[in-house]
Amino acid sequence: EAEVAQSPRYKITEKSQAVAFWCDPISGHATLYWYRQILGQGPELLVQFQDESVVDDSQLPKDRFSAERLKGVDSTLKIQPAELGDSAMYLCASSLRTGVMRLEQFFGPGTRLTVL
């Protein structure tokens, strides 16, 4: 069964360092999402891509976070510099092309970030 792949699964870094997370969606899924899940809370959307274009980044802290999906397939989320409050699980999800009603989002296993 096709799955969303994410790496690394765990990342420990010191504050002010740069970190990057990678996501490979299910093949053929045009829509890709990055969520942040703080411990004890539900996931919150950071950014949504349709192919290579950003369609929603209203909750992305753009002073330190960036996301790209250059070829419309895999994606990278970067934080520079990392802050203590960035410690969280970063989840990637994908779905078939939207525009034909909402479609199920499939989630990857996540990257757990700890900032010391």
Partner 1 sequence: GDSVTQMEGPVTLSEEAFLTINCTYTATGYPSLFWYVQYPGEGLQLLLKATKADDKGSNKGFEATYRKETTSFHLEKGSVQVSDSAVYFCALSQPGYSSASKIIFGSGTRLSIRP
CA distance 106 to 29: 10
- Residue 63's contacts (CB-CB under 8 Å, 6 or more residues apart) are none
Partnered with residue 65 across adjacent β-strands are: 79
Q: Is 90 in the site for partner 1 (CB under 8 A)?
A: no
Among 1, 27, 40, 70, binds partner 1 (CB under 8 A): 40
**Considering the rule CB under 8 A, would residue 98 count as an interface residue with partner 1?**
yes
CB of 16 to partner 1, least distance (A): 29
Which residues form the interface with partner 1 (CB under 8 A)? 4, 31, 33, 40-45, 48, 50, 55-56, 91, 93, 95, 98-105, 107-110
